[in-house]
Amino acid sequence: MAKPKLMQGNEACVAGALAAGVDFYAGYPITPSTEIAELLAEKLPPSGGRFIQMEDEIASMGAIIGASLTGRKAMTATSGPGFSLKQENLGYAVITEVPCVVVNVQRAGPSTGIPTAPAQGDVMQARWGTHGDHPAIALSPSSVSETFHLTVRAVNLSEKYRTPVILLLDEIVGHMREAIVLPERDQVEIVNRARPTCDPADYLPNDAPAGASAPLADFGTGYPYHVTGLTHDRAGFTTSKANEVDFFIRRLHSKIDDHLDDICMWEGIQVEDADVLIVAYGGTARSAKAAMKLARAEGKKVGIFRPISIWPFPGDALLKAAQGKEIIVAEMNLGQLSLEVERIVKRDIIGVFQVDGQPMEPNRILEAIRGVKA
């Protein structure tokens, strides 16, 4: 049996990426994600992978798109302003349906903000940062062990649904150290993208029905095809025909929306008997769990709903968990996810928001719990 290891969250992310088969990384050092680049620079080349330090974040995103088109499992990591710079090419990956993973270890902002301080201010950017109607998958771990497993899952989802996937860490999770037992390689589920089996002359890179994506051929394997950020038809060539454009954009969404049961993840803790439900995620969920224990010791029935997939948000599960309960949303921003919670439950919530660059202490959430009328 494997022995526990003491690992940092960013280190677990690297372990998860390697376990999932990531063999190409392009990035640019930026606090608090730099350890991911440093460790992959060390570990990828000996195993036949490729590491490239790019000149900036825009180029880093372009590089992983190009690498993925050649069949590599590609990843980059960034934080704060670097995530902003990636948005244009992130949109390109969405419309060209190129699998890749973008790790964003969130820090205080806007702009350069406080590079070493924790925050959760990129939640809405992860959903709407790039322009146009587009789907998004974003996962948020709250422990070192979960960072490993969600990194693997991010790679698998990107390969399965031909889409970029965002792993939303925060500085707390990225830099804390915990004991973790890494599974053996043969115990890790690996998903590889579907590749065409047809004759190269018959290959259509975007020929898929609603709710699906087409097999993706690796460049250099005899399947020539066109890749463009313009709206394109089944053959990959530019189109502005209304019916083709409408079908294409709706298919980009339906390949995610039709599979919410497979993509959405959440955790419910002592929800059944709760009168108060705390919604929290990432590093803040750890404080919420401590606050729940303190409140229960005072005789208050408190539960937690932790979204693990931030996007798509597990709305049906929240709606079921929230029935008959007062809702407190705790997050290290001024209420970004609380807007989504309010939209789903269709009533007011209590917000506990913090933007001072410090981790949220359990007592702040406990005070809000005590303020709920019995």
Give which of 363, 369, 332, 333 is closest to 350, Cα–Cα: 369
Cβ atoms 84, 125 nearer than 8 A: yes
pLDDT of residue 373: 78
Give which of 214, 231, 211 is closest to 223, Cα–Cα: 214
Cβ atoms 299, 157 nearer than 8 A: no
CATH topology agreement for domains 5-187 and 268-370: yes
pLDDT band at 2 (very low <50, low <70, confident <90, very high): confident
Q: Please give the C-alpha separations between residue 326 and each of 24, 90, 112, 279, 341, in angstroms, as whole numbers.
A: 46, 37, 36, 11, 12
pLDDT, mean of residues 240-268: 98
Rounded Cα distance, 263 and 307, in Å: 12
- CA-based R_g, the chain, Å: 21
- pLDDT at residue 374 is higher than 90: no
pLDDT band at 95 (very low <50, low <70, confident <90, very high): very high
Give which of 359, 180, 362 is closest to 283, Cα–Cα: 359
Looking at the chain, the whole-number percentage of residues with pLDDT higher than 70 is 99
pLDDT band at 297 (very low <50, low <70, confident <90, very high): very high
Tell me how many degrees the CA angle 23-144-86 measures, rounded to the nearest 5. 50
pLDDT band at 1 (very low <50, low <70, confident <90, very high): low
Q: Which CATH architecture has domain 5-187?
A: 3-Layer(aba) Sandwich (3.40)
Up-side HSE of residue 148: CA atoms within 13 Å toward CB? 21
pLDDT of residue 302: 98
- The partner residues of 107 in beta bridges, in order of sequence, read 118
What tokens were used for 164?
């970029």
Question: Domain limits of the chain?
Answer: 5-187, 268-370
pLDDT band at 311 (very low <50, low <70, confident <90, very high): very high
Rounded Cα distance, 358 and 266, in Å: 25
Looking at the chain, the whole-number percentage of residues with pLDDT higher than 90 is 98
Q: What is the CATH number of domain 268-370?
A: 3.40.50.920
Per-residue pLDDT tens for 40-50? Answer: 999 999 999 99
Give Dmax (Cα) for the chain: 70
- pLDDT at residue 292 is higher than 70: yes
Cβ atoms 127, 367 nearer than 8 A: no
